[in-house]
Amino acid sequence: MHRITPFLWFDNQAEEAANFYVSIFPDSKITKTAYYGEVGPGPDGSVMTVEFELQGQRFVALNGGPHFQINEAISFVVNCETADEVDRYWAELSAGGEESRCGWLKDKFGVSWQVVPTLLGELMSGADPEKSQMVMAAMMQMTKLDVAALQTAYNDA
């Protein structure tokens, strides 16, 4: 068992959200579903929690009702090795959701994600602060992060 497991509160979309996430990330699966009984805030027999794994990271999704809303204060970072990965995860996670700036998006359930090329960390932490600042300036103009444009900003500094 992992010591820390992200726990996501949904109104009544926990199962739909878990299935959506599992369909996007390879090596992912639903591991357990629990149902409300006669006692509990949800209707008897309805899904209470769904436990799932995304590439080895455990999550729990709860159908807890409308009392709490997911917001941007918490996000999940998807580290991508290639521009193709950035494009794929961006397209799939943002479908029906909302694109933001600097690689951030909200999926159709309101969960915030950052789709980030691993190259960004290398470019931002280089020994040359001027190059890092040029990468930052380029990133601040982007919605989905453009790997080639980030590299060009670094090279042209």
Q: Which pLDDT tens digit goes with each residue over 17-49? A: 999 999 999 999 999 999 999 988 899 999 999
CATH number of 70-157: 3.10.180.10
What pLDDT was estimated at residue 1? 61
Q: Which of 32, 42, 104, 114 is nearest to 80 (CA)?
A: 114
CB 28 within 8 A of CB 52: yes
Instruction: Provide the whole-model pTM.
Output: 0.93
Domain with CATH 3.10.180.10 in the chain: 70-157
H or E stretch covering 60 = strand 57-63
The size of the chain, in residues, is 157
Q: Which fold has domain 1-68?
A: 3.30.720
CB 34 within 8 A of CB 48: yes
Share of the chain above pLDDT 70, in %: 99
Task: Tell me how far apart the alpha carbons of residues 52 and 32 are, in angstroms, rounded to a whole number.
Answer: 7
Contacts for 61 with CB less than 8 Å, ≥ 6 apart: 8, 10, 14, 15, 17, 18, 49, 50, 52
Task: Tell me how far apart the alpha carbons of residues 144 and 5 are, in angstroms, rounded to a whole number.
Answer: 27
Torsion-angle region of 131 (φ positive above 0: left; ψ -120 to 50: alpha; else: beta):
alpha
Does residue 3 carry a pLDDT above 70?
Answer: yes
Does residue 68 carry a pLDDT above 90?
Answer: yes
> What does the pLDDT look like over 90-105, one tens digit per residue?
999 999 999 999 999 9
Domain with CATH 3.30.720.100 in the chain: 1-68
